[in-house]
Amino acid sequence: MIIGLDVGGTHTDAVLLSSKGVEKQVKVPTDVSDLFNTVLSGLTGLLKDISPHEIKRIVLSTTLTTNAVVQKKVDPVGIIVSSGPGIDPEFFRTDDNYYPVSGSIDHRGREREPVNEMEIISAGKKLADAGVDYIGAIGKFSTRNPSHEIQIKEILKDKFKKIFMGHQVSGNLNFPRRIATTHLNAAVYSMHKSFFNAVEKSLKEKGLNVPIQILKADGGTMNLESSMEFPGQTILSGPAASVMGSIAYAPEKKDTVVFDIGGTTTDISIFINKVPLLEPVGIQRGKYKSLIRSLKTYSKGLGGDSRVKVVDDNLMIGPERMGPAMAFGGKVPTPTDAMVVLGIMDQGDKKMAMQGIDAIAEELGVSTMKAAKNIFHQACSMILTEAFEMVDHINHKPVYTVHEFLQGYKIKPEKILLLGGPARYCAGEIEDLSGIETQVVPCSSVANAIGAAAARTTCEVSLLVDTEQGFAVSPEENFKASVPKDYSEEDVRKTALSLLKTKAIESGSDPDNIEVETIEFQKFNIVRNFVPKGKIFKTKIQVMPGLIRRFHNICGQSSGKDNIKGEKKK
């Protein structure tokens, strides 16, 4: 059996999966200030009458790091950059705790200027005096030769709690994005560490001693220990879980839009012929343009618990959430209250929901039922508007899926899939408004946890080979080897594949479920005075995201009541 655990900002969902499907599901409130008891509560409900020895794997997804970045509730981070000649590194400044220093490595990994130890010590002292505990060291061409980053870390290793090096967080050359990626990893580290410790403690409390995986932004997983070195990979883990939870139900040969409607936000994603879209360069959150590979998703600050108010005689829904709906003990009206008043949702305290919607109706000068209909209609319309704007934005750029680049492709949505707690209540309205066939995925309220549980482990490897200088290097993997002049393209591919398989297995992959694809392969001839001197090869390969084979239709045996177009109760 496998446990899937999705720690969201509003609720934590836990599911127990077997080869037969979903055996049990639990939903508990998330208390960010007490993650240990949040996770423990979910596990306790899930494992009642289940022996811990029956559990073979646990997979987590979380929105905690995403929310921390969006809400700017992250630790102060120090950044030390060694760039050498070229664009002024001040263009890439993250904040006041940013120090460009001497030292230069060229594009082929050769040192042109050494680091200045006294300069590094001075920058470190200023950062320590500013109360910074976590820093990043980034060199422009450290993916060719990481020696300067390693020297900076060695000089400052006793001054800070943790030092992230740019060549380890990403093997890509993009210097500005590698700075941002290193910054993000350092900024969310302490929050992720708290999450890591709470999960470990909760699992120990329940007697669970099994492999623990966490979902990454690209829809794959890595083991929890590895995530401590790359906590930025968990940014967008929650939206990725939405994609993985719906992938089995996306139709073939159709463009599909997916809405995961939660209490706080709605996450939107798109499939082309059952394949999710990809953010090929890296995610952007706020001002941070990173190299963190991810599925293409968009989050709208609108959910079942979004605050509803009247501003200048107009309805405003979201983006803030001020607790649960009034029908469930909250203090401000929400779309959930509107659904309770309309009879679409038959849960909660209808009297309290009416009280909230009455206040809105009075401000608008309409009846309570009219106000409730307007709120419900507007909430669904806002979600659809965001989706069509996302489609329009994508259609003005090259389209990438996790499998291929589609030149000139234009997305035309022909199917909508819904998941999340409010999904089955909104399906009918969304279908009426959009004119597009709309379906609620099975087990919709816990589909994120299912998607996390069924996702397979992914990772990637970058390899650079310079036959003139006689080396092959993959700094991310701490790999460097000598190669002969006649080192061939086939040799390059074999070396990269060997590194990838080793990394995948160490990250928790099933050796029999590793599907590999080449993301990039480049070859350059080195010629001087018309005489060939060698070749430069650069390649990047990855284990493709996807579902564990035996769980492709994990909800196949579930009740059909969630696999519906929606209940219209008006």
Report domain extents, the chain.
2-70+200-240, 77-187, 460-544
294, 240 contact by CB (below 8 A): yes
Residues β-bridged to residue 300: 266
The DSSP secondary-structure symbol of 233 reads G
Q: For residue 407, give the 3-state DSSP assignment.
A: coil
Report the chain's terminal Cα–Cα distance, integer Å. 42
Using the structure block, give the residue that is written with the tokens 């939206």.
239
Residue 39 to residue 152: CA distance in whole angstroms: 38
For residue 310, how many other CB atoms are within 10 A of its CB? Answer: 15
The arrangement of secondary structure in 2-70+200-240, i.e. its CATH architecture, is 2-Layer Sandwich (3.30)
Cis ω for the linkage preceding 319 (within 30 of 0): yes
| pLDDT tens, residue order, the chain (570 aa) | 889 988 877 788 889 988 778 888 888 888 878 888 888 888 888 888 888 888 888 898 887 777 777 667 788 999 999 988 888 888 889 889 999 999 999 888 889 999 999 999 999 999 999 999 999 999 999 888 899 999 999 999 999 999 999 998 887 788 999 999 999 999 989 888 888 888 888 888 888 888 888 898 888 888 888 888 888 888 888 888 888 888 888 888 899 999 999 888 888 999 998 888 888 778 776 677 888 888 888 888 888 999 999 999 999 998 888 888 999 999 999 999 999 999 999 999 999 999 999 999 999 999 999 999 999 999 999 999 999 999 998 888 777 665 566 777 899 999 999 998 889 999 999 999 999 999 999 888 888 888 888 888 888 889 999 999 999 999 888 899 999 999 999 999 999 999 998 888 887 777 777 778 887 888 988 888 888 888 999 998 888 777 776 555 554 444 334 444 444 444
Tokens coding 134 = 């976590």
Residues β-bridged to residue 6: 13, 61
Residue 472 to residue 497: CA distance in whole angstroms: 13
Residues 6+ apart with CB under 8 A from 435: none
Residues 6+ apart with CB under 8 A from 71: none
CATH 3.40.50 correct for 77-187:
yes
- pTM across the whole model: 0.77
